[in-house]
Amino acid sequence: KTGSIVRFVDEIPQDLRKGKEKEVLSPVGDDKTGPSRLRSSIGSEAISDDDGDDEDEEGDDDEEEEDDDESEDEDEDEELVTLGFVEKPKNPNSLLRHLFPSKAGGVPAWLDPVNLPSGKSKTCGFCGEPLQFLLQVYAPLSEKEATFHRTLFVFMCPSMACLLRDQHEQWKRRPDNPSRSVKVFRCQLPRSNPFYSSEPPKHDGSDKPSGAGVPVCCWCGTWKGDKVCSSCKRARYCSEKHQVMHWRSGHKSDCLKSICSEACDSHLNNNNLGLAAACRTLWPEYDIVNEDECALDEKISEDNGSNMSLVAKTNAANNTFETLIDKFEVNDDKKSWTSFQERITNAPEQVLRYCRDVKAKPLWPLATGRPSKADIPECNYCGGPLCYEFQILPQLLYFFGVKNDADSLDWATVIVYTCVSSCEAGTSYKEEFSWVQLYTPSTIP
């Protein structure tokens, strides 16, 4: 796939970040204002006032969009961005739901283990298959008690064909029933809730969830297991396809054996205590750790020797970028790509950029394929505006081991927009909005 950043990441020396300590913040704070895993300084009042101005100028959206594109990189420079990096967990139990992790791959650590998304919410809008867990970000807000715990979950269909069809759907402005292959869910809980202690986790092995969750699928370990194996009466599945796949992969011989009982009991209780899915095609599991971008930039600039080493080690990768830049036909895309390259050079392994701020804007790899203000819908539950919260970079695909074939999954960036007020109306898992920017033949020959 010509132009994929995955190709760039393949050439990154794995020791670029060696010796740099990444910060893992405590997920639950002792103060009454709530936890602060990721930076967030957005306020509903500030956004509401800003949104009113946007409505008055709706007729000038096209002109404003061009101006916004030119200043987006400068705007993000002024805001504090938290970078996310993936690391293999030192202890797999550190990613269990009662420890409020940020994680990528594997199975989700559901915040609310009972009221999971169901029906069409859990399936791809094009192929109809259950979506695969991509990552989750623990991002509580201190503005109100209802968001003491708050996690955003991202799911994606692993089919590139579906992601290409998704592109046509997201350009439809505010469709009544959009079909998407990428879905984001927001779940939040107050400090006092039925599932977790009001005290912060001790991280000494004694932490346990307050109660079990609903049974989940024995195959994917992700969605609620509504279907039961007719033979053993224990194995649960979220879909007929997953039941068939599990049967063919070994459940047929294990169905009436004790090995089935032990494996299925863990899924039946959904305690998230070392739960393992039978499926072997899930993306590998990683812990997401955080580091402020400004702190990283300062550390690199102060260490001239290390900085020179960084330049030398990334020379081959930079040459790859320059080759791709020369192939861009559109000057705006070339400018955007160069800016994107320069911004991530100091931390090329970053997979996530988080900045929930009133002035924050994404770091776009390309100038084309960006949404206008009219393309961002209102909240499906309260009718309020959405704001940018974080973006996922294609470097994640490298760590997932996704191949660089023509039909392999790929994206330029995935942008997540969430309700400004983080409303409480509606279901436990509220679907938010994502915007996927892809590389197209018009941008890269």
Please give the pLDDT value at position 207: 77
Closest residue by Cα to residue 414 from 349, 351, 321: 351
**Contacts by 317-322 with C-beta closer than 8 Å and gap 24+?**
317/8, 317/11, 317/12, 317/348, 318/345, 320/7, 320/8, 320/11, 321/8
87 by DSSP, 3-state: which? strand
CA 355 to chain centre: 13
| Least trusted range by pLDDT, from 46-55, 161-170, 309-318, 427-436 | 46-55
Alpha-carbon dihedral angle through residues 364, 395, 89, 225, given to the nearest 10 degrees: 80
| Least trusted range by pLDDT, from 35-39, 338-342, 360-364 | 35-39
Question: Under a CB-based contact definition with an 8 Å cutoff, are residues 149 and 101 in contact?
Answer: no
CA 222 to chain centre: 15
Q: Are strands 103-104 and 286-292 parallel, antiparallel or unpaired?
A: antiparallel
Residue 266 has pLDDT above 80, yes or no: no
Binning pLDDT at 50, 70 and 90, where does residue 296 land?
A: confident
Share of the chain above pLDDT 70, in %: 68
Closest residue by Cα to residue 201 from 48, 331, 338, 29: 29
Please give the pLDDT value at position 267: 54
Instruction: Round to whole Å and give the CA distance between 286 and 86.
Output: 6
Please give the pLDDT value at position 406: 82
Please give the pLDDT value at position 265: 58
Residue 5 has pLDDT above 70, yes or no: no
Please give the pLDDT value at position 354: 98
Share of the chain above pLDDT 90, in %: 48
pLDDT top residue among 387 and 2: 387
What is the C-alpha R_g of the chain? 22
Instruction: Round to whole Å and give the CA distance between 444 and 396.
Output: 21
405 by DSSP, 3-state: which? coil
Task: Write the CA distances from 357 to 23, 321, 375, 440, integer angstroms.
Answer: 21, 30, 20, 30
Please give the pLDDT value at position 46: 37
Write the pLDDT tens digit of every residue in 238-264. Answer: 998 998 888 888 787 778 665 555 555
Residue 52 has pLDDT above 60, yes or no: no
Residue 127 has pLDDT above 80, yes or no: yes
| Least trusted range by pLDDT, from 4-13, 115-124, 247-256 | 4-13
Write the pLDDT tens digit of every residue in 176-226. Answer: 778 999 999 999 999 999 999 999 988 877 777 777 899 999 999 999 999
Binning pLDDT at 50, 70 and 90, where does residue 92 land?
A: confident
Instruction: Round to whole Å and give the CA distance between 20 and 345.
Output: 15
Q: Which of 33-47, 152-166, 264-278 reaches the highest mean pLDDT?
A: 152-166
Residue 131 has pLDDT above 70, yes or no: yes
